Structure 1
Amino acid sequence: MSNYKIAIVNSSSFGKWFSKHIERLEAIGPVERFTFDNDIDGVTLAKELEGFNIIISSVTPFFTKEFFEHKDELLLISRHGIGYNNIDLDAAKEKKTIVTIVPPLVERDAVAENAIANLMSILRRTVDSSKAAADNRWTERATFMGHNLTGKTVGVIGCGNIGSRVAEILKHGFNTRLLVTDPNVDNEWAEKHGAEIVELDELLTQADVISLNASLNDTSYQILDKEAFSKVKRGVYITNTARGALIEEEALLEAIDKGIVCAVATDVMVKEPAPNTHPYYSNARILVTPHTSAYTFECLEGMGEKCVTDVERIIKGETPDSVVSK
């Protein structure tokens, strides 16, 4: 195949800061940006992308079996990120479409650092106190009491690429007691960093702070549900930079109302973009950021470089790195 058409789907960041990535793609073939609703059905999505044989995709929309059944010419989906739960890999493989991701280390530091940054924001009420200063309410500063992170017991749910980095920062940066829950945790890593490998229930009952870093699958979906919130330590803080669906939203709101959960920082929502009518936004105990954990110049340059290299290798008949559709 000598004619290539490239679609950038639902990614507002790819090529925004590094025009060289777009220029390299345009040297291969026409490049067009698309923004689709998260819930677009597979048939419609395939029709909208008719003629495009290379896709650089974000975390949405969902490339379903139905999509691949109506998309015969597709050579590559290069994920502008490390997650791929929005792509039916079996259907992709059946249609001989290669699916690639960004290597985990590219996003590791950026996402982990943002999990900590957001956590510190709710622990020290940074956003609230900043608004007070801007409103000339300096005399209210004593009302913005927070908590130290140093010396607390922290629990990391999901201790893979990013979760392990979050754990390292919490352990060595803040001298915390570190609890981790993950079915595939690296025992050697845990011993090196003084992490206690525990069951979920133990983590819930003992952690002052919980960091969600698990991938989204059948076992982690709504891992923090009503039952889990009935077990957590009263006054717990939660930071989530993984997936919104790791938390049962109604159960969280109820736990906050009851004073069980002190505050939550989330960079991810079940449906993105989340409309401003979502109850999270009107809750003073919840800090929402718009999925920006990977938004550092260093990280986005590395992510974009990987996607462009994927495309360049495909047109040469080479196999890209980090293929997940095997």
Structure 2
Amino acid sequence: MKNYNIAVINSSSFGKYFPEHLQRLEKIGKVKSFTFDNNIDGKSLAEALEGFNIIITSVRPFFNKDFFAHKDALFLISRHGIGYNNVDIIAAKNHGTIVSIVPPLVERDAVAENAITNLLALVRKTVQSQDAVKGNEWSKRATFLGINVTGKTVGIIGCGNIGSRVAEIFKHGFNARILVTDPKVDNNWAIKHDIEIVELDYLLEHSDIISLNASLNDTSYNILNKREFSLIKKGVYITNTARAELINEAALLHALDENIVAGHATDVMYVEPSFNDNPLIKHPNVLVTPHTSAYTIECLQGMGEKCVSDVENLVKKAPLKNVVS
């Protein structure tokens, strides 16, 4: 029998709420948690993980070509999530490393609901209102003027697993007009829900609210940049529970300062953790949550169960599900 050493990397939630997940791993081998800088170089990361042949990891750090070039035996990287853009899949395959992810449906409702939760908190000034009450400033209540979401035009950029759920909630919960831009959108789904498939520029020009739900790749990186903000409907609200890199941060800050963007709600940042000296966090029209879209009991239970099952199946030489390399 092989000796299994399991590293849990940059995850603040794995095993915290469901300790039985850690207990099951401990029956298989040594388990150790690590917290690395998000941008640690590949060689240093490989050296720090010497001897660990199973990895359960969050969205960071990056397991790049340099990491695999210097890594000793590594049987499995199980992503504690649905994205895998932080893993060089080709390098992993060449190294003989299996990479698996959580089934998309596990995160679908939790992340979609948080995109809308954050958006509603932003447009109704929920945080500011609560702060006023806690500060005995009830008299300020007339200053917390928001907008209705019902009947608005909502643009969905990226309409896969999560984006499609965001669209459904806005459509059927708020009677919104839904515009979608996504090269792989399901036409039958769009017809069923009376959703319009449009080009990005049209979406930008007509949306009162924009939800970013695209995966991060070469075509979506900084999909909202200076040019896009020049086209965007003035007074738009944006919610992002996907990846910070979908938006050029400097262009966003300029649009916020010029009141082109009325408000921005985000659960993701370029640098995580981010602190209160960050210009976005300091901005009065920005709501930031600390990457907690998946933090529901149901979602975290499902994510943890999948990662543990990956490890157990690997050891038993049983097939793994949702393998990407």
* TM-score over 0.5 (shorter chain): yes
Alpha-carbon deviation of 1:288? 0.4
Deviations 1:147-175 (Å, cap 9, x if unpaired)? 00000000000000000000000000000
Kept after mapping to 1: 8 A contact 2:51/2:72: no
Deviations 1:236-268 (Å, cap 9, x if unpaired)? 000000000001111111101111000000000
Kept after mapping to 1: 8 A contact 2:256/2:285: yes
Write the mapping of 1:1-326 to structure 2, written as runs, cut at 5 A.
1-325=1-325
Q: How many positions carry a matched residue from both structures?
A: 325
Alpha-carbon deviation of 1:275? 3.0
Aligned residue for 1:281, secondary structure, equals helix
Could you tell me which amino acid in structure 2 is paired with residue 270 of structure 1? Answer: Y
Cα distance between partner residues in 2 of 1:200 and 1:249: 19
Cα distance between partner residues in 1 of 2:20 and 2:202: 49
Cα distance between partner residues in 1 of 2:276 and 2:3: 42
Deviations 1:285-311 (Å, cap 9, x if unpaired)? 000000000000110000000000000
Kept after mapping to 1: 8 A contact 2:275/2:281: no
Cα distance between partner residues in 1 of 2:322 and 2:70: 25
Kept after mapping to 1: 8 A contact 2:154/2:209: yes
Could you tell me which amino acid in structure 2 is paired with residue 280 of structure 1? Answer: L
Aligned residue for 2:287, secondary structure, equals strand
Alpha-carbon deviation of 1:316? 1.1
Alpha-carbon deviation of 1:281? 1.3
TM-score, length of structure 2 as denominator length:
0.99
Deviations 1:179-201 (Å, cap 9, x if unpaired)? 00000000000000110000000
Cα distance between partner residues in 2 of 1:197 and 1:155: 10
Cα distance between partner residues in 2 of 1:271 and 1:100: 25
Aligned residue for 1:280, secondary structure, equals helix
Kept after mapping to 2: 8 A contact 1:72/1:95: no
Could you tell me which amino acid in structure 1 is paired with residue 157 of structure 2? Answer: I
Percent identity for Structure 1 against Structure 2: 67
* Structure 2 residue runs without a partner (length 5+): none
Cα distance between partner residues in 2 of 1:291 and 1:159: 20
Kept after mapping to 2: 8 A contact 1:10/1:34: yes
Alpha-carbon deviation of 1:317? 1.4
TM-score, length of structure 1 as denominator length:
0.99
Deviations 1:6-46 (Å, cap 9, x if unpaired)? 00000110000001000000000010000000111111100
Cα distance between partner residues in 2 of 1:321 and 1:288: 34
Query: Deviation above 3 Å: which 4+ runs of structure 1?
Result: none
